[in-house]
Structure 1
């Protein structure tokens, strides 16, 4: 079993155990002290309810749970435990938690007190509503002053909070089934969490317009509570089951598959030299070379990039964090001189003010930054004839909040990251629900402007929301981690293929889902499933994607997009199982060949059995 865990997840660490609690037609999963996937008659009501504590950099303070008591009888359940959250300073926030449920009600309360001044960016309840089935539909919000607002869930992704000062939310779960979520004990507001590719709308405590981090004073108790009430007709229909094989529908489009890029990092130059041979296998066409003068990057870094470009023959995009500390024409002219000295031929130049790598939450003061028009003009003058990209070196969130002047650039680009808020396996794979909206929202903003995404990886390469990413020496599943072991296993391969499948019809020109080497890269290190120096599983996926570049996309719609995602050309179909269970898939026509990507050939039949997180290539 240990070998299976390592093969699938790149680590032998298991996720916390979960337990399903049932009361009549209502069910919910208890995991690590939080409630997940609240359902009524099989319909998803809420994605999660959790009491969370973030440190001053928005990192998650994990709870130490003690005295856990769980009772579940036919008509109800109850849970109680004590949770201790410890800040990096050593201060502790101690909370007494009580959860109970009946056939149509769930309540979750927390009574808390700290043993010292506790510095935090947020301490309190978070409620996640799903987006599938809700986006664009009606919702009723009761505000703290008693005012009732009849509105709609955002369809395109809102850059700011769609609702503030919330005391209750009423939404339609299914025909004849509604849910009222009441929020007590603090000021709640909602953000469109799809900005970060979370598959949810998030309602949370403490408005972002208030200062953060803030201190929970020593010895001053506070309490919060969330109550969910189901309103359902006696004959309300249950959800359609998920049993049976997954079915597919393939539809030709006018889009073509993007070319594949690979990121380069200055700290990985030596490893990148060793890994150059992998480029022949991958079929990538672009190197996305990161360059940050503020981090001390200079001529030696550019010389290294020139060497890699010369040996690989790939096109180079120089991704520059512009310091904006001196006159822009001076900074850009100095950069251009270094590029010429290194004899580094650029295909494109992507520029982003260094300060824009950090997020500016709603209500915060925007940092000093030259107008983007001036940044782009200086770049054009220093690099005449080179295509210019703009957007955000960080994530769609920052691009949505600070929209760049698209008419002044040749393409727009951003990244995404699936572990900003949660890092469990299910949450990571649910990000594809939101990624669809990310690309459609970008297209709504920038129209047919050439569009690139990446480098986007499971691990976080830079933290826009705090001073640093989180170290992860034990290889755990933690938010904002700078290393994630799942990148090295079959999970990472499935995530990579599912990502490409989700954006296949967005008309991207370049998609970058890995670096060449290092913890975000293609090549295995010591103690991984693949032997040191060999290709990681996701590299085999990228190799297959590379062969599709420029071919016409056939959109793939599956009957279970929460389980199987795919993309296709006229002659080939690639699919990923994004679950830990075997998934049977009915093919639309008899195939000529079926192969596990990076693995063996499978029997040629009209049905494919996809192993957990398995990736398959089918010749149609």
Structure 2
């Protein structure tokens, strides 16, 4: 984040708390950023060859501990750059760990070595290196060298892999733009996961196989040594020229219909939402997603609260119901139907999710006891005859990809997304938009022509499938897995939302649910409409219209979504940009959005 006064920062990001500062280093054609003790955007001749090298300590809920960095030393001589620093981490139970890091960079590569010492008995889910390769490498040639000496020639997966595409990794060697990039890992076992599942724009190679027990204890006094080595061969490409502040936008042919736009309602926010019915009309959304947690004790009072909010409203209503699914399915669903009828709640569709699927099942772990989804959906058909029935996952594409429902039992498929499962810095959240087209194509490959209702799409996490809670965020910081993200209050969320919609071209979506009406994930805050409200309202006006293909010359800087009548632009950066479409130029302030008529 650029240096800004506190009020300007709050306007853009919803908080005056700074993002982690990046310090840029270069040796010949090799360049990288040092951010929070980790390496980001490793480039060779201006081309990003590795997205990141991170040394992470993750607690029992997969929360990432923030290291306290000290004693940074920088030494540059004879074409070599050496960095060193000490880091201290404290877990949620007060358990302490410290490590010493050393980074040595030359014109043809770098090494990153860490020696960690547990001061106390430390409980972690992961301790060590993760290497991120950019999502843009999908389909690129890849050679994998394994710990047992085997080697295999493959590619980075094009369709999102639900499990680990590669295990027992000693080295990854890929070709890109005439370069050969070798990444060698030492100190423990490594395997890869396809982070596009979570809308991260990367393939992640991480330490310690998930098949091993976790969380696990690192006894006091334990010393852990790991290292990552990057070697690059080939001629450095010419420096890639950038367009500067002007970004060209090109409109293409018609590609279908803009999706309906929805918002979520919860019983917990019903008292607030009842007073926002006028604002809901102003937003102009076509769909309402009514969340009901039967498994967690929601009953008639909660159903009545939802009914009171939506009474007389014209939007299509889908009841999103999570059931316990531990006993008689028919009896449990009949109780839900009874509550719907007693509350006088009219619904147009229902989506049913069994509670055991709220928690993700990682590779190597046993699936929780759960009735077959075919049985769950059959019971739902009996309970709600004649209503369109949806399923999929209450959680994210990861869970849908790993547990695919019987499509012939459903009328539509749904899942949510959240970009802060693994990282919450501003760059990672905006880069998550690169992963959305991959999710669209992979989801379509699973569901065929079934209607696709995507959402809720939120920056903050509404439910944590990977731990016992979402992370608290009392100081309004950028925290992975936080249920309350401060950027929801800023212009950042509005730009991100438009960028998200622009990235869904390949999804042929029926509905895009863009967060909630109010609350931490809402378009309306305590002080009135948030900036994201305008983004949602603009997209709602485009719903149902013929969509046109839209290409940005710099998609990481300016996004655009278009119909035959209007183009909606978003500046995805913290600097000024100009979007140029034909002879028309549109000035966009930092994270600004603009709706421009074409006729």
TM over 0.5: yes
Shift of 1:571: 1.3
For residues 171-182 of structure 1, what are the structure 2 equivalents within 5 Å? Answer: 171-175=174-178, 177-182=179-184
Q: Deviations over 1:171-209 (max 9, x none)?
A: 11212x111111000000000000000010000000011
Partner of 2:153: 150
Q: Considering only aligned residues, what root-mean-square deviation do their CA atoms show, in Å?
A: 1.2
Partner of 1:136: 139
Among 1, 10, 17, which residue is 1:13 paired with? Answer: 17
Among 589, 595, 599, which residue is 1:617 paired with? Answer: 595
Give the number of equivalent residue pairs: 593
Partner of 1:436: 437
Give the Cα–Cα distance (whole angstroms) in 2 for the partners of residues 202 and 554 of structure 1.
34
Shift of 1:243: 2.8
2:547 matched to 1:569? no
Sort the Cα spacing of 1:218 and 1:330 in 2 relative to 1 into closer, same or farther, 3 A: same
For residues 461-610 of structure 1, what are the structure 2 equivalents within 5 Å? Answer: 461-525=462-526, 532=527, 534-588=528-582, 590=583, 606-610=584-588
Give 3-state SS (helix, strand or coil) of 1:304's partner: helix
2:188 matched to 1:194? no
Partner of 1:344: 345
Is the 2:32–2:42 contact (alpha carbons within 8 Å) kept by the matching residues of 1?
yes
For residues 96-495 of structure 1, what are the structure 2 equivalents within 5 Å? Answer: 96-132=100-136, 134-175=137-178, 177-233=179-235, 236-244=236-244, 245-495=246-496
Is the 1:23–1:74 contact (alpha carbons within 8 Å) kept by the matching residues of 2?
no
Is the 1:21–1:72 contact (alpha carbons within 8 Å) kept by the matching residues of 2?
no
Give the Cα–Cα distance (whole angstroms) in 2 for the partners of residues 122 and 362 of structure 1.
15
Shift of 1:505: 4.2
Sort the Cα spacing of 1:312 and 1:74 in 2 relative to 1 into closer, same or farther, 3 A: farther
Shift of 1:580: 1.1
Is the 2:459–2:485 contact (alpha carbons within 8 Å) kept by the matching residues of 1?
yes
Is the 2:326–2:370 contact (alpha carbons within 8 Å) kept by the matching residues of 1?
no
Q: Deviations over 1:329-373 (max 9, x none)?
A: 111111111111111111110001111011000110000000000
Give the Cα–Cα distance (whole angstroms) in 2 for the partners of residues 344 and 536 of structure 1.
29
Partner of 1:595: none
Is the 2:359–2:464 contact (alpha carbons within 8 Å) kept by the matching residues of 1?
yes
Residue segments in structure 1 that go unaligned for 5+ positions in a row: 526-531, 591-605
Shift of 1:71: 3.0
Partner of 1:91: 95
Give 3-state SS (helix, strand or coil) of 1:170's partner: strand
Give 3-state SS (helix, strand or coil) of 1:544's partner: helix
Shift of 1:237: 2.4
Sort the Cα spacing of 1:247 and 1:616 in 2 relative to 1 into closer, same or farther, 3 A: same
Give 3-state SS (helix, strand or coil) of 2:306's partner: helix
Give the Cα–Cα distance (whole angstroms) in 2 for the partners of residues 193 and 238 of structure 1.
30
Give the Cα–Cα distance (whole angstroms) in 2 for the partners of residues 239 and 549 of structure 1.
41
Partner of 1:598: none
Is the 1:44–1:173 contact (alpha carbons within 8 Å) kept by the matching residues of 2?
no
Shift of 1:312: 2.3
Give 3-state SS (helix, strand or coil) of 2:271's partner: helix
Give the Cα–Cα distance (whole angstroms) in 1 for the partners of residues 239 and 451 of structure 2.
40
Give the Cα–Cα distance (whole angstroms) in 2 for the partners of residues 85 and 254 of structure 1.
50
Among 17, 28, 35, which residue is 1:31 paired with? Answer: 35
Judge which range, 385-394 or 325-334, deviates more: 325-334
Give 3-state SS (helix, strand or coil) of 1:455's partner: strand
Shift of 1:74: 7.6
Give 3-state SS (helix, strand or coil) of 1:516's partner: strand
Judge which range, 307-316 or 100-109, deviates more: 307-316
Among 48, 58, 62, which residue is 2:66 paired with? Answer: 62
Is the 1:260–1:284 contact (alpha carbons within 8 Å) kept by the matching residues of 2?
yes
Give the Cα–Cα distance (whole angstroms) in 2 for the partners of residues 237 and 22 of structure 1.
16
Is the 2:73–2:85 contact (alpha carbons within 8 Å) kept by the matching residues of 1?
yes
